[in-house]
Structure 1
């Protein structure tokens, strides 16, 4: 879902450049519908594939998708803040897919807003969507040059403006407080919860990254070695460590073992191309070139 989040953001940008207008949540909704198709089929159907990413066989695998994601995206209408899908769900699925919103280089506020607007497609509990917004805010602040502790502190300030932000804010304050006690341990991780719900998953990931700020291997090992939802907390922590230190700081041997490593790298490179090197995929009028719009249609 993270990859389809990136794809949706690229396509929203292409649509804006080529047509002069785009509604990012609506474009992301369609991107997640393409993800949902990959969970219902065993491979891309000839002549029915929409865009480059949906044509990749690797995407057609079920990796324990969350029920809220499946049911929310299976609804006939898009969830909104006024009418969110699954209003009682605050699982960590929306947080896990929200790092790309922080990479847009449009500031933490825009990243927060987009992440929240797209989180309510599947997770309608305030802690579910506000944790996603806070995560996107933290990543955006880090991309702008803040350290993870400073970025988290600024996200706490943003959450204070939300009537329903106290639960997520409390979890993040606990993460920062626990990180001050020294190197991460399983006991300290589990003092923050199990990670099955959004605010706990975000807190555990932030804690591990803050407690080992210059040691990504230690941070990631702590994030995945506990008795809770360790794959989710590991993924979120990996997003944070990557945003803070960049890919060269990550253990090279681990990266080589990742399923779809090359595909992930290509999608990431394409996001950088669209956001930071737009001229290389634009015609004389600023619209996407035919090759780029075929790869990422503006819809």
Structure 2
């Protein structure tokens, strides 16, 4: 019997499926075709591997006691890149790698756009921490792929710190700052705060973490959402490019502009409609899905997502790992004897 509550499950599924739906709608520029599959981009694919990496990091820590979670998540990105056939990716094992159930999903081998900063970092430094490297990318993948980390309680009290560390394995400081803030917004939403309160709290809670986005970095988006909601020109000004910081600001604005659960479809269409709205839509989808729960997502669109089953399983397994610990530990038997095979803890 699981100890996961219905509220926790609705929030986690809403966040992950909302992110994936926003990613898919963003790829269409807000012009969703009337029929056919809604495909994830590389951002959605990487978010799946973030969740898998988080689960595997927790399993490793539980069973072996020694773990550097950001490195385990980075290893998950290496599996994604290997499955995509990207050259120059280190093989961690000659046989049976990539491993885990996610490596068996055929659609994750299909390239859906690029992730140049992530790929470049994986190619140039296969083992994170083996040498000192300072990445410089400010791209939005450093934010979007980390957002599900806000759904679980980590070893430390600041989920934003972990998110920044994960982003820093491939991206520069500004993207790491955005990841810290975005994940902290998700963590506050999971505690049943509304979007406004979650964003305001994230600014204060991350003051000791951020190095570039100092002060109150979400204030402009918060004020714009309150005073000038649902204006494409304002959104374009807040998100003028594909930076992580722009995606974060734009998503806060969108979420505040469309606060009601019945407006979620309109929110994602609006987010995707501006020139650099793809990552805004993914981030806004995660925020609004976490805020309103999975039942607020438009069923007709969710049912067309090519990764809907994968994302839904991952969201549920993420909670199961942290709440129920199905793989057991060095001191207890596994409740699920197949859990380790699904998520090898190394």
TM-score normalized by structure 2? 0.77
Range moving further from structure 2, 60-69 or 196-205? 60-69
Query: Aligned pair 1:209/2:258, yes or no?
Result: no
Higher RCO (CA 8 Å, separation ≥ 6 residues)? 2
> Contact 1:105–1:144 (CA<8 Å) still a contact in 2?
no
Range moving further from structure 2, 152-161 or 4-13? 152-161
CA distance in 1, matches of 2:178, 2:332: 35
Provide Cα deviations, 1:11-59, integer angstroms capped at 9, x if missing partner. Answer: 11111222233221121121111111122269xx984431111121111
Counterpart in 1 of 2:113? 64
Equivalent residue for 2:192, pick from 129, 132, 145 = 145
Question: What SS is found at the alignment partner of 2:158?
Answer: helix
Equivalent residue for 2:65, pick from 20, 31, 39 = 20
CA distance in 1, matches of 2:86, 2:159: 32
CA shift, 1:285, in A, is 3.2
Q: Which runs of 5+ in 1 are unaligned?
A: none
Q: How does 1:236-251 map to 2 (within 5 A)?
A: 236-251=283-298
Question: What SS is found at the alignment partner of 2:85?
Answer: coil
Q: How does 1:34-183 map to 2 (within 5 A)?
A: 34-40=79-85, 47-78=96-127, 83-87=132-136, 89-106=137-154, 109-124=157-172, 126-162=173-209, 164-166=211-213, 169-170=216-217, 172-183=218-229
Provide Cα deviations, 1:56-92, integer angstroms capped at 9, x if missing partner. Answer: 1111011112211110121225556x944422x2111
Query: Aligned pair 1:198/2:280, yes or no?
Result: no
Counterpart in 2 of 1:9? 54
CA distance in 2, matches of 1:129, 1:4: 18
CA shift, 1:271, in A, is 0.8
Q: Which runs of 5+ in 2 are unaligned?
A: 1-45, 88-93
Question: What SS is found at the alignment partner of 1:175?
Answer: helix
CA distance in 2, matches of 1:219, 1:24: 34
TM-score normalized by structure 1? 0.89
CA distance in 2, matches of 1:180, 1:240: 17
CA distance in 2, matches of 1:211, 1:107: 34
